Amino acid sequence: MHDGRPVLDRRLLVRENAATLLPATVPCRAVNPSSESSAGAPPSPGLSPDDRRWLHDKYERLASEEGQLSSLRTSYYAAIGTVILTGLVVSIADLLNEPALLVAVVTFLSALGVLISLVWAVLLHRTNDAQNLWREAALLLEHAAPPVEGEWMVPITLRSGAKLNLNLLHPFEAHAERFSQAKSISWMDRVNPSTWTELLPVTFLGIWVAVFAIVWVWFLVLR
């Protein structure tokens, strides 16, 4: 006590503040553990209902555009890869009696196939990641600042006959609930189509590397 007022222990203050202050070497920002969102998303800024709907529609359009790009790129590059494979088969059939020319043609086709497969794999990976990004953004928006307030729980009957109670006011949340790994109804629900789509360019890449190695082993060793 000092002049009738309690004197606070400085060590106690240091211990209490240490849990909520960043070290001096880090750019200073106040941290309040109790303000963390339980849903995993930071508190949303002050958005009007029109802003929320605009953002939600924007995320939905961006995810849809990335999905269209993914399908178009898959069809486009798969067609190119099939044409090059056809050229490989024709070259082997026509040039089998001319080993040097056959090796040159197959080497060129293999290098072209490897290049196209690499570009395809990179573009498809980026497109799928962008689509997942916008879907996740829309889902977090529905959790933190839903465009339509409230719940409209409706039992949805699936093809298997199973029923799910989904909130129709939050479409991305309903989609995540339907294809949740923890609540999968069929074994195919655990299969991510984006992952399987990205296996296609990798498969083409493996085929062209194998063709390149086989033709040179045949030319140098087995012929």
Q: Which of 65, 49, 15, 37 is nearest to 169 (CA)?
A: 49
- Report the interhelical angle of 99-144 vs 193-217 (nearest 10°): 160
Q: CA 71, 72, 76, 78: dihedral to nearest 10 degrees?
A: 0
**Distance from C-alpha of 124 to C-alpha of 117, rounded to nearest angstrom:** 10
Q: What is the pLDDT of residues 25-47, one digit of tens each?
A: 334 343 343 333 334 555 556 77
The answer to whether residues 89 and 105 touch, using CB atoms and an 8 Å cutoff, is no
Mean pLDDT is lowest, of 92-106, 182-196, 207-221, for 182-196
**Distance from C-alpha of 187 to C-alpha of 193, rounded to nearest angstrom:** 13
Q: Sign of the C-alpha dihedral, residues 18, 22, 23, 29?
A: negative
Tell me the backbone φ, ψ of residue 5, rounded to 5 degrees. -110, 140
Model confidence at 72: pLDDT above 70: yes
Model confidence at 121: pLDDT above 90: yes
Model confidence at 106: pLDDT above 50: yes
Model confidence at 160: pLDDT above 60: yes
Query: What tokens does 10 get?
Result: 């400085």
Q: How many CB atoms lie within 10 A of CB 66?
A: 19
